[in-house]
Structure 1
Amino acid sequence: MSAGTRQRATHLGDFTVGPRMLLICAWALPVGGAGALAALFLQRLIALVTNLVFYQRWNTASVAPGLHHHPWWLVLSAPVAGGLVVGLMARFGSEKIRGHGMPEAIEAILTGGSRLAPKVALLKPVSAAISIGTGGPFGAEGPIIMTGGAIGSMLAQLLRLSADERKTLLVSGAAAGMAATFNSPMAAVLLAVELLLFEWRPRSFVPVVGAVAVATVARGGLMGTGPVFPVPTTGLHLSGTVTAAAAVVGLTGGLLAVVATWLVYRAEDTFARLPFHWMWWPAIGGAVIGAGGLVEPRALGVGYDVIDQLLTGRATTSLIIGILVVKTLIWSLSLGSGTSGGVLAPVFMIGGALGAWEGMLLPQAMPGFWAMTGLAAVVGGVLRSPLTGAIFTLELTHAWPTALPLLIASTVAYALSTLVLKRSILTEKIARRGLHLTREYSTDPLETFFAQEVMQREPYVLTAGRTPESTLLATLRGEAATGRGQRLLPVVARDGSLTGVTTRRALLADTADRVQAARVVVRPDDTLRHVAQLFAEHHVTSAPVLGHAPDERVLGVISLRDLLHARRHDHAEDQHRQRLIPRPTAVPDPT
């Protein structure tokens, strides 16, 4: 067996993937438990700050800022003070706490080797609790993604792991925090796959599910096992008209998602032009929040109580319109200031208000049905994650029979958002930092072709013992005859077995070590993806293709340019249009 063959056998016989996956899964389980504790800590901290600021009492029971009347000066000044504190924490603590958390987590995964600083795990929930507890119209999910991710990242940095393994633990912590916050294990896993992992492979999917499972079980003991917003489905009537109308709600939800996303980044552009340091921007955003709170106090804070009223059909018309207008404006404009807070809970409320408002004109299916449909649509459009939008809504409400209209609404909103906007609210910020990001998943075309289909057949092969002059002349004559140059030349013994390789450059230089051992050999049934992986691992651009034992003769040579065949085929399937069934021709009249 040649040296190249032995290397390939070692590569194919490496069974470390399975044990490594199990090892990472074992570490992901305690990360899931820690994510659940972090979610509980953040919720209690938000409630404590809210009680202290708006009710002047020391209590960790969940409460909304606008449930009772507050002095106008408190409604106006509390968000400003909270924004000022967040700005100071970001300036002198860590700038990573700015924003809603998801883009920062994505950026850490793509460019930072999945490393998050330990102080982020502490500063992010504290800053979010201050921002939300003082009236900020944000959610806890973005901060918990950063906090849970930081927990997983810190553990990974203590271990000897690769960047991909660190990513898996970071995402495990983030998804665990999401699952514990909303009691939504499936939506948390989908969110991880659609937004954070950038792959669907066993090595990452299995540990993330393990962490989410632990977090969900722990959440049951800490915060209960029921849905966050239970919606009874008794009396549900889903007709064809109702299902079709879900597409209409999807269109309006997608339009609202586009407007809200546009407002967020127009606000960010406006703040960026201010002639003073960004540390002061959250305080200005707080002034916007306070002004909106004077118009509609229920728009302040996380607003879980309002979401519950919307989804159960108990919201009044004035509350629906007030939330739809005021919440959308103060959330999008203040989020552009760089304060700390998440996007999901506000999107839940805005989407629910949109659906409830449209439900006044649409056929009735059950109380709260159209609010649920609007919620799924706006989530799908804002995050550009249609499956997450539908499954999130189902897990929040446990209204499982409504799955089809929710999926339709979420997908229609997703389609509209992708047609109108280049990027989502998550990827726009990353793109502005100079990082290209695609969220489209498809089969790798390199997986659909084998080496024998694209290799250069009947290559010129040098026989050991021939003189360099005659070898070079034969090579050049062959190139002239075929019009194609062959840079890599296999060298074989008289019995046809591979002894090494050389190149045209080495022959022309006539160096003593012009023939070297083949670092890589390829088999005819290797996929092009495997070939590309071998090229990347061994830093080569071409390799001989050998038949299987016992007749391991040279069948061809494959190079990087041959790998482009798969891309050309993929491009042709995407762009080349043809009619396969011809149009019927008129039958001539026999008369």
Structure 2
Amino acid sequence: MVREARIEAGMALMAVAVGVVAGFGALAFRALIAVFHNLFFFGRFSTAFDALKHAEASTWGAWIIAVPIVGALIVTFLVKTFAPEAKGHGVPEVIDAVHFKRGFIRAPVALIKALASSISIGSGGAVGREGPIIQIGATFGSMLARWTRIPEWQRLALIACGGGAGIAATFNTPIGGVLFATEILLVEISARTLIPVMIATGTASLIGRAFFGDHPSFILPPLVLDHPVLGSGMPALAAYVVLGLLTGVAAMAFTRSIYWFEDLFQRMPGNDYLRHVIGMAIVGVMMYLLLQHAGHYYVEGVGYATIQDILNGGLTAGGLVLLLAVLKLLATSLTLGSGASGGVFSPALFIGATLGAAFAAGLHVLFPGVDISPATTAVIGMACMVGASTGAAVTAVVMIFEMTRDYHAIIPLIISVSVAYSVRRLLMVDTIYTMKLSRRGQRIPVAIQSQLYLARRALEFIRAPFTCLDADATLGMALDLRRGHYRTPRVVLVENGRLVGVVPARILRAARRGLERDLPLRDLADTHVAVVQSDIRVFDLIAALRQQQCRNAIMTRDGAMENAGSVVGVVTWEDLVENTNLSDYLDHGRTSDT
């Protein structure tokens, strides 16, 4: 108990440290984005930048097209030279570290990720800031674990602490940060892992609120907050279900588009510099044309100003917002596909909000009597896109609520996000995070399962028939015995009370075809057999078989073989797989200890 208390206290202190770093990391990262945005767009050094307001037109005029190109050259140099892991949207690399690298993340990743992503965003790249913050927090968690030489389960928990704290500090969503860590990063759900995550996210949120203020990420007008979301009854509810269906398809298209463009750029001749320049040049042209014809750059950066316009009711033209959704998807795919560094969470919010607003506009044309607010459909669209594309459905519902404080939308949020998630899951198994790893041949668990059967006694859980025969018995004698059993029995061969070996059921089934009945069973027996106690748990039995490198075990009351009467059960590796879904456990489950 004393040792466990010390471990918990140590984890709590380290979680506070991770939360502090993530909180101040979010502060520094935002400042970096502001600095680079002002440098690239206006040629001045300043940290003044409000993401909820559209960027002013740059003093460079048409030369603004060159700004993303310059940013692309710098980002490519940083990534290629110092940290290839910093390329892309970050979260897949954290998941990779958790599942395939035992929680080890190289120290330079955090610094290079912060610089590369802030330059990508500041120069007009259509990416978000949450992915880099997650990677920064996770990197510090991994580094702290290595410095303190703690066990692997604690190292993985600290990585989740960093990721959740980064989300919490960035969006002022402490509960959403906990849920994000739970759904995406944690491989063990228990008090010893959840409490550190809560401590880290709470700490980071306090730091974020101290500097950014205690207000939601997006401001909804009072009329929207007071508007009954289900005022039209069943027609409104049906509309939200349809919105979930549409955004589920859009989430699939968003995910595939990013990796399709990545493959496209990889097939292009030239080097990484040229590819990234081409992608960002197209984004620069899109920015300039939107400024000339729509009044703002719109697709550049995180895009929160556009979302805020929709929520304020200032951007309701259905054709324009639908066009912005398509252009943002294209710009994000070009930015990330060509080699930029940045997150996908913010683009998902943008696409979801614009699709939601376009859906409301179209609905008002087709069904004027349906009382649905564009701001509400934008909120629901954001949650649907995030939940469906990332696979973190619960996180999406709670985070969008925390980001808007619109409690009236909770029920439609839950329904629509569930529909969107199911549609995307039906169309493709991978999420926007796991698809990058699946393309490398790395399989990520689809669930964290509680393997309750592992703690049960193997003998009572696996009741395989067996029989004891003399070591001189023949195959024909064993086959004759099989007639009295519904399942093929396992045969234990004994000679003068001494164990000779075990003939598994699969060997007997195979031996029926083509082998003579007078064949000695001894020739078919596995002589390397484990002897275990009859009250052994399934988990311990698996460990014993692995340790002794056996595939078959006999059970006796005291774990010793005295005579044939001592045997109370026989278990083969095939029995374990068949009766306990062991293959699923080996593929998806993780033990909580080292």
- The TM-score by the shorter chain falls in which range? 0.7 to 0.9
Q: Which of 209, 226, 236 is equivalent to 1:234?
A: 226
Greater shift after overlay, 151-160 or 528-537? 528-537
Partner amino acid for 1:156?
Answer: A
Greater shift after overlay, 409-418 or 23-32? 23-32
Q: Which of 104, 118, 126 is equivalent to 2:107?
A: 118
The yes-or-no answer on 1:305 pairing with 2:305 is yes
Q: Which of 441, 462, 469 is equivalent to 1:454?
A: 462
Which residue does the alignment assign to 1:564?
577
Greater shift after overlay, 336-345 or 420-429? 420-429
Distance 1:157 1:435 in 2: 24
Change in CA separation of 1:491 and 1:107 when aligned onto 2, cut-off 3 Å:
farther
Greater shift after overlay, 65-74 or 228-237? 65-74
Q: CA deviation at 1:540?
A: 4.2
Change in CA separation of 1:535 and 1:252 when aligned onto 2, cut-off 3 Å:
same
SS where residue 471 of structure 2 aligns?
helix
Given that residues 380 and 387 in structure 1 are in contact (C-alpha distance below 8 angstroms), is that contact kept between their aligned partners in structure 2?
yes
The aligned runs of 1:380-459 (5 Å cut-off) are 380-442=387-449, 444=451, 446-447=453-454, 450-451=457-458, 452-456=460-464
The aligned runs of 1:124-523 (5 Å cut-off) are 124-231=113-220, 232=222, 233-238=225-230, 239-296=233-290, 297-317=297-317, 320-360=321-361, 361-362=363-364, 363-366=370-373, 368-442=375-449, 444=451, 446-447=453-454, 450-451=457-458, 452-456=460-464, 460=468, 472-473=471-472, 479=478, 482-483=481-482, 503=501, 518=531, 520-523=532-535
Change in CA separation of 1:57 and 1:16 when aligned onto 2, cut-off 3 Å:
same
SS where residue 300 of structure 1 aligns?
coil
Given that residues 83 and 286 in structure 1 are in contact (C-alpha distance below 8 angstroms), is that contact kept between their aligned partners in structure 2?
yes
Partner amino acid for 1:562?
Answer: D
Q: CA deviation at 1:355?
A: 0.5
Q: CA deviation at 1:482?
A: 3.7
Q: CA deviation at 1:502?
A: 6.3
Q: CA deviation at 1:277?
A: 2.0
Greater shift after overlay, 370-379 or 473-482? 473-482
Partner amino acid for 2:87?
Answer: R
Greater shift after overlay, 532-541 or 153-162? 532-541
Which residue does the alignment assign to 2:94?
105
Partner amino acid for 2:183?
Answer: E
CA displacement 1:119-173 (0-9 Å, x = unmatched): 1111001110000001111111111111111100111111223333322111211
Q: CA deviation at 1:339?
A: 0.8
SS where residue 299 of structure 1 aligns?
coil
Change in CA separation of 1:160 and 1:254 when aligned onto 2, cut-off 3 Å:
same
The yes-or-no answer on 1:90 pairing with 2:98 is no
Change in CA separation of 1:357 and 1:567 when aligned onto 2, cut-off 3 Å:
same
Percent identical among aligned pairs is 30
Q: CA deviation at 1:488?
A: 7.0
Distance 1:492 1:203 in 2: 52
The yes-or-no answer on 1:531 pairing with 2:531 is no
Q: Which of 57, 73, 82 is equivalent to 1:69?
A: 57
Given that residues 33 and 215 in structure 1 are in contact (C-alpha distance below 8 angstroms), is that contact kept between their aligned partners in structure 2?
yes
CA displacement 1:182-236 (0-9 Å, x = unmatched): 1112222222222222443444333222221221222222322221113241132
Given that residues 127 and 302 in structure 2 are in contact (C-alpha distance below 8 angstroms), is that contact kept between their aligned partners in structure 1?
yes
Q: CA deviation at 1:537?
A: 5.5
CA displacement 1:530-567 (0-9 Å, x = unmatched): 53345446644344435599xx9653232322212325
Given that residues 236 and 365 in structure 1 are in contact (C-alpha distance below 8 angstroms), is that contact kept between their aligned partners in structure 2?
no
SS where residue 569 of structure 2 aligns?
strand
Q: CA deviation at 1:268?
A: 0.9
Aligned residues: 533
Q: CA deviation at 1:359?
A: 1.4
Q: CA deviation at 1:570?
A: 11
Given that residues 459 and 557 in structure 1 are in contact (C-alpha distance below 8 angstroms), is that contact kept between their aligned partners in structure 2?
no
Q: CA deviation at 1:252?
A: 1.3
Change in CA separation of 1:57 and 1:492 when aligned onto 2, cut-off 3 Å:
farther
Change in CA separation of 1:247 and 1:534 when aligned onto 2, cut-off 3 Å:
farther
Partner amino acid for 1:265?
Answer: Y
Distance 1:401 1:491 in 2: 76
CA displacement 1:33-60 (0-9 Å, x = unmatched): 2111111111111011112221333221
Given that residues 100 and 343 in structure 1 are in contact (C-alpha distance below 8 angstroms), is that contact kept between their aligned partners in structure 2?
yes
Change in CA separation of 1:532 and 1:25 when aligned onto 2, cut-off 3 Å:
farther
Change in CA separation of 1:169 and 1:482 when aligned onto 2, cut-off 3 Å:
farther
Q: CA deviation at 1:69?
A: 2.1
Given that residues 313 and 356 in structure 1 are in contact (C-alpha distance below 8 angstroms), is that contact kept between their aligned partners in structure 2?
no
SS where residue 557 of structure 1 aligns?
strand
SS where residue 236 of structure 1 aligns?
coil
Which residue does the alignment assign to 2:294?
none
Q: CA deviation at 1:364?
A: 3.1
Change in CA separation of 1:501 and 1:119 when aligned onto 2, cut-off 3 Å:
farther
Distance 1:227 1:569 in 2: 46
TM-score when scaled to structure 1?
0.81
Distance 1:532 1:488 in 2: 20
Partner amino acid for 2:432?
Answer: I
SS where residue 178 of structure 1 aligns?
helix
CA displacement 1:328-356 (0-9 Å, x = unmatched): 21112221112101001111111101101
Given that residues 90 and 279 in structure 1 are in contact (C-alpha distance below 8 angstroms), is that contact kept between their aligned partners in structure 2?
no
Partner amino acid for 1:521?
Answer: Q
Task: Name structure 1 gaps, 5 residues minimum.
Answer: 1-13, 462-470, 494-499, 572-591
SS where residue 556 of structure 1 aligns?
strand
Distance 2:430 2:254 in 1: 13
SS where residue 298 of structure 1 aligns?
coil
The aligned runs of 1:575-586 (5 Å cut-off) are none
Given that residues 87 and 280 in structure 1 are in contact (C-alpha distance below 8 angstroms), is that contact kept between their aligned partners in structure 2?
no
Q: CA deviation at 1:443?
A: 5.1
Which residue does the alignment assign to 1:4?
none
TM-score when scaled to structure 2?
0.81
Change in CA separation of 1:88 and 1:456 when aligned onto 2, cut-off 3 Å:
same
Distance 1:492 1:173 in 2: 62
Which residue does the alignment assign to 2:506?
none
SS where residue 568 of structure 2 aligns?
strand
Which residue does the alignment assign to 2:589?
none
Given that residues 493 and 522 in structure 2 are in contact (C-alpha distance below 8 angstroms), is that contact kept between their aligned partners in structure 1?
no
